[in-house]
Amino acid sequence: MKKIVFIILGLYLSVGMAFAQDTETEKPKDRPIRAPFESGILIDNQTTVVPSKKTLEMHIQHRFGLIKSSGASDLWGIYAPSANTRMGLNYSITDDIMLGYGITRKNMYNDFQAKWTFLKQTRKNTIPVTLTVYGNMAINGQSDDVFGDDYAFADRMSYFGQFIAGRKFNEWFSLELNASFTHFNSVKSTEANITGYEHDVIGLGGHMRFKFSPQSSILIMYTTPLNIQSMQENTTVMNAWKSNFGIAYEVATSTHAFQIFISTADGIVPQDIYMYNEADLTETEFRFGFNITRLWNF
């Protein structure tokens, strides 16, 4: 009987010591970094940021008119009739996946969007970068007269897809680069396959944040469509293919982000910017704008 007791006690101690050794050698998990940006948008760009699960995110995005068009007569574009506004709501169904809807004054675009951050940079650099995919579908909500008598509902639709790669280098500097593809189902032309707008465009861009206080940052953004001749459907292309540049000052708290900036494009929906931006950076054709982000957790 004593032998049986000693055998059971020996097995118990052996298992306990082995478990203790496993616990001691188990390494702590390498957690994701804190958000590299304060909002899911940076001027006109999407960032890799997806708010935590069950968060409702509201965006108000506004663009005034061109600063140099009328000067002081319209307060350098602030009272210009060409102002543009988008209001949108996004909801995070997981910590990595967000769905949203917005409506924009220009062309009355109704956009439905999704964002998925499928890889996150970690604090110990086990994973050195964050990778995100973003996509939307926009419906042009203008009256039927704009499209003419012979058109289908699908002619109102346009699509945008983007891949974003980013890295937070330290607490004060973050950088992200992106590549995108834009498609419009219907575009204007004067002579089919000879002179007209293109249906598709590929774009590249990036943005960065310089954080100089717990709540304040300087943001810089640049995107450009690529004029790839092998993709062109028309001999004479009517698209302006202008780049978009912006620089902003941002103030943020845990639930709010406010960005005030100057940028070139009057559009807000990304496919409209890549396809139809006619403001020329080299001619200093800038406009004032602001973005407001508000978060609610449920």
The pLDDT assigned to 14 comes to: 54
Window from 38-47, 108-117, 127-136, 190-199 with minimum mean pLDDT = 190-199
The pLDDT assigned to 8 comes to: 46
Q: Which CATH architecture has domain 31-297?
A: Beta Barrel (2.40)
Q: How many CB atoms lie within 10 A of CB 7?
A: 10
Task: Please give the model's pTM, rounded to 2 decimal places.
Answer: 0.87
Q: Is 54 left (phi over 0), alpha (psi -120 to 50) or beta?
A: left
pLDDT digits (tens, 9 = 90+) for 62-81: 999 998 877 787 887 888 88
Q: What is the DSSP string of 116-133?
A: EEEE--BTTSSS--EEEE
Q: What is the DSSP string of 155-191?
A: GGEEEEEEEEEEEE-SSSEEEEEEEEEEEES---EEE
The pLDDT assigned to 10 comes to: 53
The pLDDT assigned to 18 comes to: 52
Q: Which residues contact 224 (CB under 8 A, 6 or more apart)?
A: 203, 204, 205, 243, 244
What are the residue ranges spanned by the domains of the chain?
31-297
Which of these, 136, 172, 141, 171, lies nearest to 46 by C-alpha position?
Answer: 136
**Any idea what DSSP says for residue 146?**
G
Residue 275 token pair:
């396809």
Beta strands 45-46 and 41-42: pairing type?
antiparallel
Q: What is the DSSP string of 43-100?
A: TTEE-S--PPTTEEEEEEEEEEEEHHHHGGGGTTTTT-TT-EEEEEEEEESSSSEEEE
